[in-house]
Structure 1
Amino acid sequence: MKYIVALLGLLVVLGLSYIVSNNKKNIRFKPIAIMIVLQVVLAFVLLNTFAGATLIKGFSGVFEQLLSYAQEGINFVFGGILNEGQFSFFLSVLLPIVFISALIGILQYLKILPFIVKGIGYVLSKVNGMGKLESYNAVASAILGQSEVFISVKKQIGLLPKHRLYTLCASAMSTVSMSIVGSYMQILDPKYVVTALVLNLFGGFIIASILNPYTVEEGEDVLQVQEEGEKQTFFEMLSEYIMDGFKVAIIVAAMLIGFIALIGMINGLFLGTIGISFQQILGFIFAPFAFIMGVPWKDAVDAGSIMATKMVSNEFVAMLEISKYPNLSAKAVGVVSVFLVSFANFSSIGIIAGAVKGLHEKQGNVVARFGMKLLYGATLVSVLSATIAGIFI
């Protein structure tokens, strides 16, 4: 039965992508089929093999160790604020982003990250049938973040046609930055976080290849990366990345306070007037999508509510919502966890459009105009990744 549901989910995702495609005649099905097969193979390896479990354990172990180092700095500054045994989301989950951001800055400055990103991007370009720039951007987005990644390709932002700019922005919204991955792993099972990271990378290309198909000519397939740190000293760079990490932590904290409070108020208003919460209504709307992702029907409404919360607020708010549904089955929790690991929400439209506009005003306006299509595509990427993962959960 689960294979039939997964096939249905795959067909729905591909069908919804095809319906709004801007150039149906130019869709190349061979690379899409190859990438779907790769997703299935990778999901099986990560979720159902000893090698995958070992890889995930190693990956999460690295982040666990890094977070323990981050805690040393946090305890020095904020030690004594909490009573023993108490937990603070801001101190334990968000502030470690500062340390991870600093590490990313060091690896970027030493040219280690650009080398890795270009290498993986080159290999991906041979699989996905797209250009080197698109492949580089997808990998870089998963490391640098959805706004910072555009700085690394700012030399080419103003030269890109609308269709290529869409693919770059879609990749940025479909992935998550490495600086936040450790925070996700403190809320969700690391194996679902890692699986989502890998599947989303290919899922972004699959959906973009249907929604926005095009061919990059050989003369256009040039990658010009802006190397960060070339005009800065090491400590100038380090200070900048530390402050960037702190800004991210503060922004996420502010978003959580605002969105959780607003959702609580709206739920209260709906309960007081019609006897059902706003999130429950959204749950009924998203329940069919939860079901085709592999969530058991008895959990579909609750899972749909969490999925909708992510879209209207952000992934952190939705991740925290999972704990409010203790009766969710293990499969439902796993499938929804994979769905939540991306930046596909309304606020990301403004973040990405603002980042591009800061580098090139005209192109920023172009991004703002196709913002809803970006969210549509990125959400389908999350549904696709969760559907594939659901086969093996």
Structure 2
Amino acid sequence: MKYIISFIGLMVVLLLAWIASNDKKNIKIKPIILMIVIQLFLSFLLLNTQLGLIVVTGIANVFDTLLEYAQEGIGFVFGGIANEGQAPFFLNVLLPIVFISVLIGILQHLRILPLIMKGIGFALSKINGMGKLESYNAVASAMVGQSEVFITVKKQLGGLPPHRLYTLCASAMSTVSMSIVGAYMTMIEPRYVVTAIIINLFGGFIIASIINPYTVDDKEDILVVMEEARQTFFEMIGEYIMDGFKVAIIVGAMLLGFVALIAAVNGIFDLIFGLTFQQIVGYIFAPFAIIMGVPVSESVAAGGIMATKLVTNEFVAMMDLSNIGTEMSARTVGIISVFLVSFANFSSIGIIAGAVKGLNEKQGNVVARFGLKLLYGATLVSVLSSVIVSFIL
């Protein structure tokens, strides 16, 4: 029965993408089918095999070690602030972003990261039926972040037509930055984080290929990556330390505001309607949870978490999942965990449009105009990834 529901869910996601398509007649079927098969294979490999367990455990151990190193710096600066036995979210989850940001900077400075991004991007371009720029951008978004990635393609940004710009922005919104992967792994199981990151790469191209189909001319299929101005090693370290700290502060501020706001809205709705706001939106999103493979009995709670992620961010939703996850089946927790690992939320529209506008005002305005369609597509990517995982769990 679960396979039938998962198959129906897959068809519904593809149909919803097809309805929003700019050019239904020119959708390329073969690359889409191939990428769905690859998603299923990779999900099975990562979640259901010994090799997958070894890979995920290895990645999780690397991030565990990095978090331990980060705690050395955090303990030195903030030691004694928390009571013994407590684990403050800001200290244990957000501040390690600073250290991981420095590591990304070092890999960038040594030209290791750009080489990896170009290599994986080139391989992806042979599968997805799209251009080298689109493929590189998807990988780079997962490495350096959804706003920083546009700096690396700044030279080509001004000359891109809207359809190619849409794909670049959709990829940025469908992935997550490597700098916060460690934070995710403290909140949900690492195997779901790793699986989601990998299959979202393909999911972004699947949905974009349906909503926004096009063929890149061979003459236009070029990649011009903007190299960062050469800094001294310690200048670079200082810059990435500050960038990581800014991210931690911004995420912390957003969580503070959103969690408090949701608590207030829940209280008002409960007083007026006898139901919290999250329970009400949970009913709205419950059908999507069901086609993702969530049992009907758990669909309202799961739908509430999905809606929370969409209107706030993934951190708030992950906190909700950690609070009620013990009341859900392991399969539901896995499906919802995969859904949460992306930047698909309303605030990302402003982040991406602002990042592009800072580099090219005209193109920034273009992104702002298709912002809601961008969020629609990125949300479908998250639903698609959850459906794919539901076949396996």
TM-score w.r.t. the length of structure 2 is 0.99
**Are residues 1:2 and 2:2 paired?**
yes
**Are residues 1:24 and 2:3 paired?**
no
- Per the TM alignment, residue 83 of structure 1 is displaced from its structure 2 partner at its CA by 1.5
CA RMSD, 1 decimal: 0.6
Deviations 1:151-170 (A, max 9, x none): 11111110100000000000
Matching residue of 1:248:
247
**Amino acid across the alignment from 2:257:** G
Aligned-partner Cα distance in 1 for 2:350–2:234 = 31
Matching residue of 2:320:
321
Secondary structure class of the residue paired with 1:81: coil
**Amino acid across the alignment from 1:361:** E
Aligned-partner Cα distance in 1 for 2:82–2:191 = 30
Secondary structure class of the residue paired with 2:327: coil
- Per the TM alignment, residue 391 of structure 1 is displaced from its structure 2 partner at its CA by 1.5
Secondary structure class of the residue paired with 1:294: coil
Matching residue of 1:272:
271
- Per the TM alignment, residue 324 of structure 1 is displaced from its structure 2 partner at its CA by 2.9
Deviations 1:220-264 (A, max 9, x none): 011000112x33222111111111100000000000001011111
Aligned-partner Cα distance in 2 for 1:56–1:327 = 25
Matching residue of 1:150:
150
Aligned-partner Cα distance in 2 for 1:373–1:323 = 30
Secondary structure class of the residue paired with 1:184: helix
Aligned-partner Cα distance in 1 for 2:214–2:249 = 39
Matching residue of 2:207:
207
**Are residues 1:41 and 2:29 paired?**
no
Matching residue of 2:50:
50
Range that drifts further, 317-326 or 248-257:
317-326
- Per the TM alignment, residue 323 of structure 1 is displaced from its structure 2 partner at its CA by 2.8
Aligned-partner Cα distance in 2 for 1:302–1:313 = 16
Matching residue of 1:226:
226
Secondary structure class of the residue paired with 1:34: helix
**Amino acid across the alignment from 2:356:** V
| Match runs of 1:229-308 below 5 Å | 230-308=229-307
**Amino acid across the alignment from 2:129:** G
Matching residue of 1:190:
190
- Per the TM alignment, residue 302 of structure 1 is displaced from its structure 2 partner at its CA by 0.2
Check conservation: 2:187, 2:322, Cα contact below 8 A: no
| Match runs of 1:359-374 below 5 Å | 359-374=359-374
**Amino acid across the alignment from 2:96:** P
Query: 5+ residue gaps in structure 2?
Result: none
- Per the TM alignment, residue 92 of structure 1 is displaced from its structure 2 partner at its CA by 0.3
Secondary structure class of the residue paired with 2:392: coil
Deviations 1:301-360 (A, max 9, x none): 000000000000000000000133231111111100000000000000000000000000
- Per the TM alignment, residue 289 of structure 1 is displaced from its structure 2 partner at its CA by 0.5
- Per the TM alignment, residue 57 of structure 1 is displaced from its structure 2 partner at its CA by 0.1
State the percentage of identical aligned residues. Answer: 70
Aligned-partner Cα distance in 2 for 1:115–1:268 = 51
Matching residue of 1:65:
65
- Per the TM alignment, residue 280 of structure 1 is displaced from its structure 2 partner at its CA by 0.4
| Match runs of 1:329-348 below 5 Å | 329-348=329-348
Deviations 1:244-293 (A, max 9, x none): 10000000000000101111111111100111111001100001110111
Range that drifts further, 324-333 or 117-126:
324-333
Aligned-partner Cα distance in 1 for 2:6–2:104 = 37
Aligned-partner Cα distance in 1 for 2:275–2:23 = 42
**Amino acid across the alignment from 2:375:** L
Check conservation: 2:188, 2:322, Cα contact below 8 A: no
Deviations 1:179-220 (A, max 9, x none): 000000000000000010011000000000000000000010
**Are residues 1:85 and 2:85 paired?**
yes
Aligned-partner Cα distance in 2 for 1:240–1:194 = 28
**Amino acid across the alignment from 1:107:** L
Matching residue of 1:131:
131
Aligned-partner Cα distance in 1 for 2:284–2:336 = 15
Aligned-partner Cα distance in 2 for 1:41–1:93 = 32
Aligned-partner Cα distance in 2 for 1:359–1:240 = 19
Deviations 1:84-105 (A, max 9, x none): 1111000000000000000000
Aligned-partner Cα distance in 2 for 1:254–1:197 = 25
Aligned-partner Cα distance in 1 for 2:200–2:372 = 19
Aligned-partner Cα distance in 2 for 1:323–1:374 = 28
Range that drifts further, 102-111 or 234-243:
234-243
Aligned-partner Cα distance in 2 for 1:82–1:267 = 29
Aligned-partner Cα distance in 2 for 1:323–1:118 = 36
